[in-house]
Structure 1
């Protein structure tokens, strides 16, 4: 398992369109991917759970990945939350 705190710099946070793009890509990884937002732990592969926490620009969240491609999943998430796209 890998954990990392990431400050979201994607403009306007994870509103509907970037959240959908994020979930679509995260679901391609085999690893379990969870986010801690405050005291809430959510499944990052669920659009409903992701939208329920309203991740905003400037917010710091903890990302936890666990599985065979956990490093790749974390690298994608780190890049996406800071730019809005995969680098």
Structure 2
């Protein structure tokens, strides 16, 4: 399992558009991909799950991945977070 902590840098938080981008990316991988915020863990392949977390600007959250392509998945997720200006 790989895990990475992020701090949300998007002033609007994780709303529909960035949630959709993350879900679409996570869905490309076979591994189980989860996002954890305030001890609540949801599947990053579920837009409703991601939106239900209500992650706001400046908030820390984790992404953990377990499976055969976990290393590739965490690299791509980190890359999209930076590219979209979502998190550091």
TM score, norm. by length of structure 2: 0.84
Aligned to 1:39: 39
Give the 3-state SS of the residue equivalent to 1:28 in structure 2: coil
Return closer, same or farther for 1:80/1:9 CA change in 2, 3 Å cut-off. farther
**Which runs of 5 or more structure 1 residues have no equivalent in the other structure?**
none
**Which runs of 5 or more structure 2 residues have no equivalent in the other structure?**
none
Aligned to 1:78: 78
Number of residue pairs aligned between Structure 1 and Structure 2: 85
TM score, norm. by length of structure 1: 0.85
Preserved CA contact (<8 Å) 1:30 1:68: yes
Preserved CA contact (<8 Å) 1:10 1:81: no
RMSD: 1.6
